[in-house]
Structure 1
Amino acid sequence: MIPYVVITLIVAFSVHEFAHAWVAYKFGDDTAKNQGRLTLNPMKHLDPFGTLLIFIIGFGWARPVPVNRFFFKNPRLASILVSIAGPLSNLMLSVLGFVLLYGLVATGAVETLPSYVFEFLNIFLYLNVALFVFNLLPFPPLDGYRIIEDLVPVNVRAKMTQYEQYGALIFLILVITPLDQYTIDPLYSTVVPSILSTLDQFFYQLFL
């Protein structure tokens, strides 16, 4: 199972960061492109320590894509779209996974494939939806926090920036302490399965 998790996270992180870089580039910011981040090559996106943790505990993180909002003609709108592009890319990976899964079922190819293909697809689907939900949480340095930053008035944004370090600390406490059973875990036990079930029902009706 660990190899499936590792492969999924490497793909998910690379696509996630590429999506940030691509949208930023389309809105006029070539900072990420100039640093070689406008690519799907995992070696350009993976953080050394975050990658190491993937192999040790099956979870980690990638290097954030640099974004200079001053290159945007409409900084607020462009920044929101850049931020949301990452989580949406993970949701799209899940959608592609469901298309592949039900395509195999609909064509009958499912009967000739080994079981590990479906074990991998199940992990791929779950982790990408989980990353979609996780990255939309309103805590720094996650994308959900960045979206809120650009939605609120400028004076509120300034205050958020001032206290951002404390928000990051609170987030870590919620994630790595027993408090996660009241905060993060409910998302994984309710929201993620709900999204997966909705996608599953949609593609079942579409293909079968």
Structure 2
Amino acid sequence: MVATAVGLLTAVTVHEASHAFTARWQGDGLACGLGRCTLNPIRHLDPVGTVMMLVVGFGWGKPVPVRENWLRSGPRTGGALVSLAGPASNFAFAAVASLPLRFDVLPVRLSVPVGMDPLQLAGYLLATIVLLNILLGVFNLLPIAPLDGFKVALGILPRQAAVNFARLEPYGPGILMLLLMVGYLNFAPFGLGDLLNPVVTFVMRTLVIGP
């Protein structure tokens, strides 16, 4: 549980700070003015999301405020860049953090090691951090509001298609909750985890073992 909490805290902090830094780069300093351009995790914690991290092992950070009309590249492209920065930072962080595992400096462990061997524990902690950063990155790329993938999709779709797709935004949270509940309660042959797990596993294996 400690490794999961550390992994989620790291992933959420990197993710949200990257949104804030990218928004400032795009010309909107609101988030930085609110103290979000920092890797101090306390600045990015959401009370409910933090409780969820501790209770169910997954949660979220405090959303970063962005004034899309202030963005240098415009609301669509600029908004997509700010949104993409979160998942991209998780993948970049996972790639760097995985180096000790890939080059056998630490053993790769995805289950709690028996005993208190420092190298085994360090390998377990680092592998958990890498895995959760990948998971958060992949999950947030789903094109469902309010996830980052929705704004990314709006930025890359043709304008009319983006206008039509934007109409789904109010229904996004309900769709996302339905997908999560279907998987959790086994109402369907497959759930959200069945869609995400192959991608997460592929990225994890690529980073830790190599292509």
1:171 lines up with 2:176 in the alignment: yes
Matched residue, 2:127: 122
Matched residue, 1:7: 6
Structure 1 portions without partners, runs of 5+: 107-111, 204-208
- How big is the shift at 1:94? 1.1
- Is the contact made by 2:28 and 2:67 (CA closer than 8 Å) also made in structure 1? yes
Match of 1:146 among 139, 151, 155: 151
Q: Give the distance between the partners of 2:17 and 2:187, measured in 1 at CA.
A: 32
Q: Alignment RMSD, CA only? A: 2.1
Structure 2 portions without partners, runs of 5+: 107-116
Q: Give the distance between the partners of 1:57 and 1:63, measured in 2 at CA.
A: 18
Matched residue, 2:29: 30
- Is the contact made by 2:36 and 2:64 (CA closer than 8 Å) also made in structure 1? yes
Q: Looking at secondary structure, tell me which structure has more helix per residue.
A: 1
- Is the contact made by 1:173 and 1:179 (CA closer than 8 Å) also made in structure 2? no
Q: Give the distance between the partners of 2:187 and 2:143, measured in 1 at CA.
A: 17
Task: State the secondary structure of the residue aligned to 1:7.
Answer: helix
Q: Give the distance between the partners of 1:42 and 1:96, measured in 2 at CA.
A: 19
- How big is the shift at 1:159? 4.2
- How big is the shift at 1:142? 0.4
Q: Give the distance between the partners of 1:12 and 1:46, measured in 2 at CA.
A: 11
Correspondence list, 1:32-71, <5 A: 32-71=31-70
Correspondence list, 1:71-86, <5 A: 71-75=70-74, 76-86=76-86
- How big is the shift at 1:39? 0.9
Q: Deviations over 1:113-135 (max 9, x none)?
A: 43111111221121111111101
- Is the contact made by 2:101 and 2:208 (CA closer than 8 Å) also made in structure 1? no
Matched residue, 1:89: 89
- How big is the shift at 1:153? 4.3
Matched letter for residue 172 of structure 1: M
Identity of aligned residues (%): 34
Task: State the secondary structure of the residue aligned to 1:202.
Answer: coil
Q: Give the distance between the partners of 2:100 and 2:38, measured in 1 at CA.
A: 24
TM-score by length of 1: 0.86
TM-score by length of 2: 0.84
- Is the contact made by 1:174 and 1:180 (CA closer than 8 Å) also made in structure 2? no
Matched residue, 2:203: 195
- How big is the shift at 1:168? 1.8
- How big is the shift at 1:158? 4.2
CA, structure 1 residues 162+188, in 2 after alignment: closer, same or farther (shift >3 Å)? closer
